[in-house]
Chains A and B, each alone.
Chain A
């Protein structure tokens, strides 16, 4: 077995037995995230229960009954008609029998409609406790939908009595027919749906990258600083193994664990998000492929290379930073302090396309290695490979340089004597 493989295996084994890492990697994403999602979706499903309506009709004309029939026909609504003398009485009954909505049709309801006057319906939502109140607002929404439909129908009815022609056309003379043009191709999908799909993509890639890079660099810092803290580094550096093999072996071991952790996070996050947004794009049945935005094998490969190189950069930088720390805790703090400012600008890419940004901001983002996988993820969909190649060339240079600096640093004594003492320099003691 080669030295490199021996070091990778040891690193993976060592990290897998670290309780903190296991908790952060398995417990948090795979148990906590879905549990949180479940809690939210429980609240949602409660809200989806039947809206039980108590209805009191004080109206004497025909339109009161039309409304009652419309409500009875509405989905998820159960209507119980009662005789009550006052609003108070109806509410008391609703509370006693577990109804969540009381609807009162007033006395002059039909009369006003017939006289072309405005009328109203009273809707009382009964809050049982002080919770989020989703259920009550959903119930109100359902009643409003019924009223809206009824309004339309009544309006059409009145129009047909006075005007010739199609009442629908009189009421809504103009409709918009929406299409999207993607890369010169007309797609029969409204732009709002397209942007929804693109948005979910635009949002998820930077998020995935953010989690992954944070995880990778934290873990690299931990593994390096642990060598110092546990006093194993000196021994390691005197072994008959090339320093660059030691570093790359550690990097790969760390990257493997970080990859597993990132996958766990993705799964956890997917559960979390899907638990309260069931109407996601896949259910609508339109995918990026339908829009002509397909990732080709070539595109996937280029995106993979871009991602890989940015991870190499993160690993090298984190290892270099952690050399200056004395223990795991300070290494973790130092790495966060340096990585976060480098990672935050990629959030801009969540909301903006890089080509639409002012020149200074654009080049600032181009200079940050972590922007490139995000940019690449979009460019490969549009098959604009030029910018992807340029990004890969830049990453190849900057990640290579970072790796070289780190390896060089490890071949000097600084790896043992370097210490950052906020503003004060100190060498080794003996």
Chain B
């Protein structure tokens, strides 16, 4: 089944064209990576799919629901982790997860089940009962990822899931994503400007530059096509930068 279908999606911010008609599809259970430099249009695409922004042109569907006209239905299926996100500082990590679980509980799982899973994914030990204000950046990010995954979304939209994290935290987060895709069948749409991360994590990737998708394929296919050693090289060749 098709999890995401994007057709000729366009987005303008005033005179700035962030997306110039992009199209791609993501299959159910896939980890799909959207990679490109800063300002390429990754976050904008993710925000449109997460029902936060309205496209200027084209359309996007999540499990057959239109992200604009059927936004309420889409929100029941997705879980979105913004690039720069925070949690409520005056709540403890546990209370934060509890708040979110109560709002999602109607979608199937019980609050207790979600909380148990959330606490496990966050992996914060006893610190889960401390206030979010006392958490390090890595701890907050893990809490937010736990929030995004414990609700067992059909589609998880993660914007730079491991950005700014140290090697251990980044590794843990990637492992968690992989495990959820393989064991739970969750579909992932992940954006990153770290091409090596994407190569490790994603089944298929789309290279995006200046609001246009330049290539779509598995990392292996793309490397073969461009005769490149890694996705970084693929990207440079695809956008026509001479190496």
Contacts and interface: CB of A to CB of B under 8 A. Distances in A.
B86 A232 contact: yes
B85 A1 contact: no
Contacts of A242: 72
Contacts of A3: 103
B76 A10 contact: no
A10 B78 CA distance: 22
B166 interface: no
B75 interface: yes
A428 B91 CA distance: 29
Contacts of B80: 234-235, 238
A222 to B, nearest CB: 12
A6 to B, nearest CB: 5
A240 B103 contact: yes
A230 B53 contact: no
Contacts of A14: 88, 90-91
Contacts of B102: 1, 6
A93 interface: no
A184 interface: no
Contacts of A417: 13, 53
B209 interface: no
Given A234-B80, A238-B78, A427 B52 contact: no
Given A230-B88, A234-B85, A239 B16 contact: no
A10 B102 CA distance: 11
A427 B16 CA distance: 9
Given A13-B91, A18-B90, A416 B53 contact: yes
B28 to A, nearest CB: 19
A17 B90 contact: yes
Interface residues of B, number: 42
B51 A238 contact: yes
Interface residues of A, number: 28
Interface string A9-31: 01001100110000000000000
Interface string B66-94: 00000010011011111011111111000
A10 B52 contact: no
Contacts of B84: 231
B204 to A, nearest CB: 23
Contact of B14 (A7, A17, A235, A427): A427
Nearest to B85: A231
Nearest to A238: B80
Contacts of B54: 412-413
Nearest to B81: A235
Interface string A178-220: 0000000000000000000000000000000000000000000
The 4 closest A-B CB pairs, nearest first, are: A427-B13, A17-B90, A231-B86, A238-B80
Interface of B: 13-14, 16, 18, 39, 41-44, 47, 50-54, 72, 75-76, 78-82, 84-91, 95, 99-100, 102-104, 106-107, 131, 144, 147
Interface of A: 1, 3, 6-7, 10, 13-14, 17-18, 230-232, 234-235, 237-242, 412-413, 416-417, 425, 427-428, 430
